[in-house]
Amino acid sequence: MTSRFSFDLLGGDGRCAARLGRVHTAHGVIDTPVFMPVGTLGTVKGLTPAQLEEIGATIILGNTYHLYLRPGMEVVEALGGLHKMAAWPHPILTDSGGFQVFSLRHRAKIEEHGVTFASHLDGSRHLLTPEGAIHIQETLGSDIMMAFDECPPAGAHPRVVTRAMERTSRWARRCVDARTREDSALFGIVQGGVDRDLRERSARDLTSLPFEGFALGGLSVGEAREATWDSVESAAPLLPEDKPRYLMGVGTPEDLLVCVGLGIDMFDCVLPTRHARNARIMTADGDYNLRNARFRLDDRPLSPGCECYACRNFSRGYLRHLHKANEVLFNTLASLHNVYYLLDLMRGARAAIAVGDYLDYQRELLARRATSDPQDGDAPGGA
């Protein structure tokens, strides 16, 4: 099957595994490494498409499970597909629903043919299969679809992790067989927990299939951060050099900085908008909680030197007031800043890789976040 999807590996740092690339899709080009804001229900919470474009977002995510339940595929089809419905003319990646099987596993029964689950909205019963996940994503009009996978929890018994990895491989083959659209790329998901041998087996199985890209799934689900990094370091080199590498659901600045250096091209996470709704502000000098009373009279921007709209126009004291008053505008401005910060972090990474200076860029920013002044926040470098 031909596809309008392609990936150009433009170069690397030379001193580490950091890569510079360009992804071509039916709805536009994505320069990598890239952070992808998450729009679970067809919208990045608190932000308009115009705001996302202004801060440099080139791709967003949608969620198969949630969009299938609400508004439903009949509505999405009637409104012209996810791109038109959401007024986002740029690339969209959709996950397959596999992570929701993990996060809502108390509502789900996993069997070989698929997963039966109870809707978190009304308790109604539904069956999601590999074939169904592909059909939903093709209906949404995804530029990048994810294969349906089973994500075991951190600390699961080795037999459980092995069974999930093997089932993921079998489901991957069914996803490949089910696809029909030439304009939707399909990525396979490597599973195996933090077991290196299982990850190697999974990568070997999946790279034998005609996927346009590959993801590392089942990480940052409760294991120690160092275990995540160790798994990425061992698994990333197992993936083809000429296809994009995606680390799913990982989005702290530390994770991005370390894992770009390990050869990862694509990242996503709900963290920046979730943090924003909880008044946690992300900056190069560490994260802080704007609820803290010390910011009541603070006339500085959220992050001095930041060029986002919120920082160019408003003070910490004013934004703290908005949050304390439950004003909706706070969520928009804080989300705008946090998403901008991660997008800008990746812009800086791309520039550093281009001149062979990524390790210095990484070391400087990791050191700044690790040694930030606690008077500027309540938890230096905290997530």
Question: Residue 351 is inside which H or E element, if any?
Answer: helix 328-354
Residue appearing with tokens 């390990």: 262
Please give the pLDDT value at position 377: 44
pLDDT at residue 371 in the model: 85
Choosing from 269, 284, 306, the residue where a domain stops is: 269
Same-domain status, 228 and 171: yes
Instruction: Please identify, among 248, 269, 290, the residue that sits at the C-terminal boundary of a domain.
Output: 269
Strand order in the sheet with 108-111: 108-111, 114-118, 125-128
Supply the pLDDT for residue 105.
78
Q: Output the pLDDT for position 51.
A: 98
Q: Does residue 285 sit in the same domain as residue 322?
A: yes
Same domain for 249 and 342, yes or no, is: no
User: Which residues in the chain show pLDDT less than 70?
Assistant: 1-3, 372-383
Residue 56 located in a structural domain: yes
Do 260 and 325 sit in the same domain of this protein? no
Domain carrying residue 254: 6-269
Task: Give Cα 214 to chain centroid, integer Å.
Answer: 14
- Please tell me whether residue 130 adopts helix, strand or coil conformation: helix
User: Are 19 and 125 within one domain?
Assistant: yes
Domain count, the chain: 2
Residue 241 placed within a domain: yes
Chain centre to alpha carbon of residue 273:
12
Clarify whether 268 is annotated catalytic. yes
Of residues 268, 285, 287, 376, which has the active-site annotation?
268
Are 90 and 130 within one domain?
A: yes
Same domain, 335 and 242: no
d(CA 327, CA 279): 12
User: Are residue 253 and residue 287 in the same domain, yes or no?
Assistant: no
Instruction: Give me the sign of the Cα torsion angle 230, 234, 237, 238.
Output: negative
Instruction: Give yes or no for a contact between 58 and 339, defined as CB atoms under 8 angstroms apart.
Output: no
CA neighbor of 373 nearest in space, from 312, 294, 255: 294
Told to judge if 95 belongs to the known catalytic residues of this protein, a careful annotator would answer yes
pLDDT in the model for residue 318: 98
Last residue of a domain, one of 205, 237, 269: 269
Q: What is the pLDDT of residue 373?
A: 56
Would you say residue 382 lies in a domain? Answer: no
- The SS3 call for residue 350 is helix
User: Tens digit of pLDDT for each residue in 210-255?
Assistant: 999 999 999 999 999 999 999 999 999 999 999 999 999 999 999 9
* CA dist., res. 47 & res. 36, Å (int): 14
- pLDDT the model gives residue 381: 31
Angle, alpha carbons 185-341-379 (nearest 5°): 120
